[in-house]
Amino acid sequence: MLRLFYFFGCDLIRTERDVSGWSSERLRQLLLAVRVEGPEGICQLTDISKLDGEASINNRKGKLIFFYEWQLRASWLGTSSGGLKYRGTIEVLNLSDENDMDDLDISVSLCKDQPDTPLLNLMKKTGVNEVRRVLGEYIRQLRSEFSLGMILPTADGPKRPQETKKNPIQTSKTQISPAPRCSSSSASCPTGVRISTCTFDLKETFQTSVDELYRTFVNQEFVQVFTRSAAVVDARRGGRFQLLDGNISGEFTQLVPDRRIEMRWRFRTWPSEHYATISLDLEDQGDETELRMECRGVPAGEEDSTREGLNRFYFQAIKQTFGY
């Protein structure tokens, strides 16, 4: 466990980035694209009259922390099915990192000189949901756009403890794999050493889309962000990967975009040329993605440390880094 503690827990330079300007522009673009339609007519946001707040990203001891707090008011124009025009406003007072999307206080009203219209109900229901959706998209883009480059190792690099035999934690990254099993033979162990192996499964749920989670595992820049170290990731069948200063390496054996990743995977302290087979299946659950991982051919005696390492330093690292 000590080795991964150093790799994932090494001292990192604290960085901070003000992204208020980008956020302001992106919020305007997203909000002004809001348009809803129903039997009552059509409503769309036409102007952002208030957009007060700020946003920044901090890297504290290797963990990305997103701060944002905004108050906004927008004007909307409704056109009834009969062609009459109505104007109103929509206001959001508590868009911040402390509130979930479902907790946003979004109010809709007609301008004082406007008569009652069914379009108000259209905005209160469909319009509010659409505004909530685009604000959620802003937060997703904020995390995605500015995560890369925010985690930087110290000038001295990660500290390395002395090698110990008890350290086979695998932060198996690219989830995958139906590779040959090296149960109790030397099938994947050309050195001739017979190795007893085990198989186990893991399951985790991520609050993100299938395509986003798939990209997190196979995109080299994203891998470097959540592992907090340099990595090589050649995301194609037969492509090699290496991360954590070479402590984890392997080869992709199958890549089915947004559905499945398979690979041959090994930790450097394992017997020479011995690889486990890891398969990762992604299933769309609506607002979240379920990940099912099968690990086969893990050296016996390494199951607990491997299982804990995958959970703590792989799945949880992704969640903490990208907010999934």
In angstroms, rounded to a whole number, what is the distance separating the alpha carbons of residues 142 and 222? 14
Q: Annotate 229-295 with DSSP letters as a single string.
A: S-EEE--STT-EEEETTTTEEEEEEEEETTTEEEEEEEETTSSTT--EEEEEEEEE-SSSEEEEEEE
What pLDDT score does 15 carry?
Answer: 63
What pLDDT score does 94 carry?
Answer: 87
Successive 10-residue mean pLDDT values, the chain, 324 residues = 35 64 90 92 92 85 79 94 92 89 90 92 94 91 66 40 38 35 40 76 92 90 81 91 83 94 87 90 92 92 80 82 81
What pLDDT score does 151 carry?
Answer: 45
What pLDDT score does 124 carry?
Answer: 94
What pLDDT score does 168 carry?
Answer: 39
Residue 231's φ and ψ, nearest 5 degrees, are -145, 155
In angstroms, rounded to a whole number, what is the distance separating the alpha carbons of residues 208 and 258? 12
Q: What angle do CA 7, 9, 10 make, to 5 degrees?
A: 70
Q: Which pTM was predicted? A: 0.47
What pLDDT score does 193 carry?
Answer: 58
What pLDDT score does 248 carry?
Answer: 84
Tokens (6 digits) for 192: 């001739």
What pairs with residue 79 in β-bridges?
42, 85
What pLDDT score does 6 carry?
Answer: 35
What pLDDT score does 62 carry?
Answer: 59
What pLDDT score does 223 carry?
Answer: 84
Set out the domains of the chain in order of their start, with CATH numbers.
Answer: 13-147 (3.15.10.20), 197-322 (3.30.530.20)
What pairs with residue 63 in β-bridges?
60
